[in-house]
Copies of this chain bind each other. A is one copy, B any other.
Amino acid sequence: MNTNIFLQIYHDYSERIQSGEIAAGTKLPSENDLTREYGISRETVRKALQLLSENGFIHKIKGKGSFVLDLGRMNFPLSGLVSFKEMSERIGRKSQTIVYTTEHIPIPHAVARHLETDKHATVWQVIRARNIEGEKVILDKDYFRSDVVPLLTKEIASGSIYAYLENELDLQISYAKKVISVEDATAEDKELLDLKQYTHVVVVRNYVHLEDTTLFQYTESRHRLDKFQFVDFARRSPGEEK
């Protein structure tokens, strides 16, 4: 759909790197080469390379060239907004989603604080457990502002809610803040998960914003300790140099 040139080049290379067609350590064609090859201006080539660089596919070295990193093949994505379903499919694990509740309710007191709505708002509450290799190890509690998301069904909740939001409701998700911490397991955790002997859970609070900056979703993802992992790729940003 997108006819953006720099996005096409980005996808071209990101796929070839992720598939292993272009090996780690390989030097990419120079910016001038790519300019000639694609018949476009150098700034457009640079936009594609910058995206590749930001997302951990390549690293650019002044005077030398752009080189493929080996971070990209494992643990993808290196941070970002990706749903559980995409995630487990990428890893290739057998996974299953159990939907406990899909309800339209007045906003719970504890949630109002996170969603910054007025206290009389209503939300869609979705509670799901993620079953990986036979064990329920993640409890997802999602809350959607019902003025943004008018309807949710059990069918949607058992599939990809994000696909529904983006394709059916045409909502543009634009950014999110995640806060990760470890907390005591609640009675609910113990009831809905296979917690084994663990007394604590990793809690990932996710605040998701739309294109117009409205905070429309709050998610609490509660992970059994031994099944939690988070990978983050960080580049020293120009802004942080002294």
List A residues at the B interface (Cβ < 8 Å): 2, 4, 7, 10-11, 14, 43, 51, 54-56, 59, 61, 67, 69, 71, 75, 77-82, 166, 173-182, 200, 202, 209, 211-213, 225-226, 228-242
Sort A-B residue pairs by CB-CB distance and give the 6 closest, nearest first: A182-B225, A180-B230, A178-B232, A175-B235, A181-B229, A81-B234
Set B51, B79, B173, B179: member contacting A239, Cβ < 8 A: B51
Report the Cα distance A171→B81, complex, angstroms. Answer: 32
Q: Using CB atoms, name the residue of chain B closest to A200.
A: B225
What are 17 A-B pairs at a CB distance below 8 A?
Answer: A2-B241, A4-B238, A51-B239, A59-B174, A59-B213, A61-B212, A69-B213, A71-B177, A75-B179, A177-B231, A177-B232, A180-B229, A180-B230, A180-B231, A181-B228, A181-B230, A182-B226
> Cβ of B234 and Cβ of A176 under 8 Å apart?
yes
> Cβ of A234 and Cβ of B61 under 8 Å apart?
no
Residues of B within 8 A of A242 (CB): 166
Set B7, B59, B61, B173: member contacting A238, Cβ < 8 A: B7
